[in-house]
Amino acid sequence: MPPKADVKDYIRTIPDFPHKGIMFRDVTTLFSDPRGFRICIDQLLSPYAGMQIDKVVGLEARGFILGGAVAHQLSVGFVPIRKKGKLPGKTIEQDYKLEYGEATMEVHDDAILPGEKILVVDDLLATGGTCEASIKLIERLGGEIVSAAFVVDLPELGGRTRLEAMGIDLHWLCDYEGA
């Protein structure tokens, strides 16, 4: 077997999960391989070398793994944005639409200070709803979005277009056609 050279080489695809017709892009195989995980974090970081970033925001749940590693490498703080009801302190909330219904993301109301430069990190960009809700939370606290970085983009689901329409700078390591 040839050596794995690209982040995409470490990502497993699981057909029909969680529903028939879905091709699930499983990044846990990337995380479990030390070389793959190092390549991933290095590539997520590279566009931001020399830029001012005050905090990294990770989106629940795999964004916590990536965001924590990126924040560590940048020597900045890490802020989790979670699903409603998971944070213990005083929070602010943002609702967003899912394919079938709505959900709510929240962040501690003192996690981001006005004027702080924020890098948003998550594993996958699909429809962009979770990331959009998170960006709105960050902006309500006065944070300034530097960029949003993802391991995987699924362009056919429209998240990239949605976030670019908001004026968000985007970075992703690989993409897959189809859902």
Q: Give the pLDDT score at 126.
A: 93
Nearest Cα neighbor of 176 from 136, 138, 134, 124 is 124
Residues known to be catalytic: 62, 99
Instruction: Note the pLDDT of residue 111.
Output: 98
Cis omega (within 30 of 0) for bond into 61? yes
CA distance linking residue 125 with residue 142, whole number of Å: 24
Confirm or reject CATH 3.40.50.1000 for domain 51-175, answering yes or no.
no
Give the pLDDT confidence score for residue 1 in this predicted structure: 61
pLDDT of residue 101: 83
User: Rounded to the nearest 5 degrees, what angle is found at the Cα of 159, between the Cα atoms of 157 and 164?
Assistant: 140
**Under DSSP, is residue 35 helix (H, G, I), strand (E, B) or coil?**
helix
Residue ranges in the chain modelled with pLDDT below 50: none
**Rounded to 10 degrees, what is the CA torsion of 148, 151, 156, 162?**
-10
The pLDDT value given to residue 179: 59
pTM of the model: 0.95
pLDDT at 11: 98
- List Cβ neighbours of 157 (8 Å cut-off, separation of 6 or more): 126, 127, 128, 179
